[in-house]
């Protein structure tokens, strides 16, 4: 958070936990660049004039080197660049280590729109509503080409890539409406792939959730897909099916047929649905058909949410503790609010209302 609460000229508004520190970092980079540009430019002009040739055939004095000077101009840039590296690496690590207790929203990019789905099933297009002061994690993928989810006021920009999940997280720190852009050229209407991010007080967010026509939650929809796609016939919960049981799977380490282990996260589950042979579980035959082309990315996300819902509760799986949960980032701590009360679910489904899309 910006302790001075002043708007820096030429910068977008600061509306997330990352914004102030990233602005400081940019100001440092800009100031260093400006300082050395001026220093070198002025010195070059000064020496050009001072040591110009004054007569035909003038031979300059020969200089053999100067150890102290050479050490100085090596050590100072080294220290400066290591400082930039250390600070940049710390920021990068914070931004790419989402906390495990975040509100999780799935985002799908598609030429040329952004879809978002909230944990209880509310969907929106080219908009994103998020609660003030809560950690929010976006799990994102694309239905076609590479897009990039860019919220300048949050200082977050993350590529959205077909075939894999990317993750972005932030804690909104200021209510208001902010720009959402696609920041990766993705076709003729790339410049129109824009939207709004609305940060609301938590109670307003709850009210907003209640007002949005809602279908099933992603987990409920995923459970239905699990049955309709016949996954349930092989993945028996008693571990006696042709496929492994998916009960209490999410977040745990899985032993593979080739002896390696892999963490059962979103990326692994997605791969196992679309390319089941890639990582066969130890003790099982590689005979699951691919579901590539049979399910959309949104449906894959729903099935994953279902598997999560029957897994250990978030953050409780044996080996899933990430550094972010063990020691919350200082920036995130400053928000000082309890985890979102996930139990406070909106009212029951409101009948057969049309889906938002």
Cβ closest to ligand CUA, residue 157 vs residue 263: 157
Question: Cα(153)–Cα(14) distance, rounded to whole angstroms?
Answer: 5
Pick the stretch among 127-135, 186-194, 259-267, 299-307 that binds ligand CUA (CB under 6 A). 186-194
CA 239 from centroid of its chain's CA atoms: 34
Closest CA to 182 of 140, 137, 121: 140
The verdict on whether omega for the bond into residue 112 sits within 30 degrees of 0, i.e. cis, is: yes
How many residues touch ligand CUA under the rule CB under 6 A: the total is: 9
- Kindly state whether residue 182 participates in binding ligand CUA, applying the rule CB under 6 A: yes
Tell the smallest beta-carbon distance from residue 150 to ligand CUA (Å): 9
Cα separation, 300 vs 266, in Å, equals 10
Q: Does 288 bind ligand CUA (CB under 6 A)?
A: no
**Nearest residue (CB) to ligand CUA, 190 versus 210:** 190
Residue 120: DSSP 8-state: T
Nearest CB to ligand CUA, comparing residues 147 and 174 = 147
List, in sequence order, every beta strand (DSSP E) within 52-134. 103-110, 113-117, 123-125, 127-131
Q: By CB under 6 A, what part of segment 115-154 binds ligand CUA?
A: 147
- Of 26-34, 181-189, 245-253, 314-322, the window that binds ligand CUA (rule: CB under 6 A) is 181-189
Here's the x/- map for ligand CUA, 76-115, by CB under 6 A: it reads as ---------------------------------x--x---
Per CB under 6 A, the list member of 19, 186, 249, 281 interacting with ligand CUA is 186
From 196, 23, 42, 223, select the one nearest 116 (Cα to Cα). 196
The answer to whether 26 contacts ligand CUA (rule: CB under 6 A) is: no
Comparison of 36 and 185: residue with beta carbon closer to ligand CUA: 185
Instruction: Name every residue whose Cβ is closer than 8 Å to that of residue 86 and which is 6 or more positions away in sequence.
Output: none
Phi-psi region of 81 (alpha: psi -120 to 50; beta: other; left: phi over 0): alpha
Q: Is residue 184 involved in binding ligand CUA (CB under 6 A)?
A: yes
Distance CA 150, CA 153 (A): 9
Name which of 52, 4, 50, 51 is nearest 27 in CA terms.
4
Least spacing, CB of residue 176 vs ligand CUA, in Å? 24
Among 36, 73, 96, 185, binds ligand CUA (CB under 6 A): 185
Give me the residues that bind ligand CUA (CB under 6 A), please. Answer: 109, 112, 147, 182, 184-186, 190, 193
């Amino acid at each position: 958070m910006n302790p001075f609460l002043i708007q820096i000229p030429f910068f977008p508004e600061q509306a997330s936990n990352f914004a102030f520190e990233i602005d400081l970092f940019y100001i440092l980079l800009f100031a260093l660049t400006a300082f050395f540009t001026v220093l070198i430019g002025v010195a070059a002009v000064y020496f050009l004039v001072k040591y110009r040739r004054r007569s035909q055939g003038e031979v300059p004095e020969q200089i053999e080197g100067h150890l102290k000077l050479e050490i100085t101009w090596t050590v100072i840039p080294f220290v400066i660049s290591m400082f930039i590296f250390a600070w940049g690496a710390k920021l990068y690590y914070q931004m790419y280590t989402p906390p495990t207790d975040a509100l999780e929203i799935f985002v799908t990019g598609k030429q040329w729109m952004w879809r978002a789905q909230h944990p209880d099933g509310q969907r929106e297009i080219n908009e994103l509503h998020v609660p003030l002061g809560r950690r929010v994690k976006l799990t994102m993928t694309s239905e076609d080409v590479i897009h990039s989810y860019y919220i300048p006021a949050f200082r977050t920009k993350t590529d959205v890539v077909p075939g894999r999940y990317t993750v972005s997280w932030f804690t909104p720190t200021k209510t208001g409406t902010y720009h959402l852009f696609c920041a990766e050229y993705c076709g003729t209407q790339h410049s129109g792939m824009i939207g709004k991010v609305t940060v609301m007080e938590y109670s307003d967010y709850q009210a907003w959730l209640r007002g949005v026509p809602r279908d099933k939650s992603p987990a409920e929809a995923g459970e239905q897909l699990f049955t309709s796609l016949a996954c349930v016939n092989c993945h028996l919960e008693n571990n006696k099916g042709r496929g492994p049981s998916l009960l209490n799977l999410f977040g745990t380490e899985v032993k593979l047929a080739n002896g390696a282990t892999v963490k059962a996260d979103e990326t692994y589950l997605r791969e196992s649905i679309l390319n089941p042979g890639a990582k066969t579980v130890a003790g099982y035959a590689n005979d699951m058909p691919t579901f590539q082309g049979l399910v959309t990315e949104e449906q894959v996300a729903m099935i994953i949410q279902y598997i999560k819902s029957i897994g250990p509760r978030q953050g409780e799986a044996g080996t899933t503790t990430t550094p972010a949960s063990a020691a919350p980032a200082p920036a995130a701590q400053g928000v000082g609010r309890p985890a979102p009360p996930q139990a406070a679910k909106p009212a029951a489904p409101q009948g057969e209302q049309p889906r938002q899309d």
